[in-house]
Amino acid sequence: MRKKSIKNKRQLDAYIRELRLEKEIQKQKLLADVEVMKHGISTIESGIHAFQTVMDIVRKSGEAGISPKERVKNMAINMGIDFISEILTQKMNASAAETAEGDPKE
Residue 101, pLDDT > 80, answer no
Collect all residues with Cβ–Cβ distance below 8 Å to 54 and sequence separation of at least 6. 68
**Which residue ranges make up each domain of the chain?**
8-65, 66-100
Q: Which of 46-50, 66-70, 93-97 has the highest mean pLDDT?
A: 46-50
Tell me the per-residue pLDDT of 9-60, one tens digit each, with 9 for 90 and over: 999 999 999 999 999 999 999 999 999 999 999 999 999 998 998 888 888 8
Task: Decide: residue 70, CB within 10 A, 0-12 exposed, 13-18 middle, 19+ buried.
Answer: exposed
Q: What local confidence, expressed as pLDDT, does residue 26 receive?
A: 96
pLDDT top residue among 33 and 61: 33
Report the C-alpha gap between 52 and 59 in whole angstroms.
Answer: 10
pTM higher than 0.85: no
- DSSP letter (8 states) at residue 65: T
Angle in degrees, 0-180, between the axes of helices 9-64 and 68-102, rounded to the nearest 10: 100
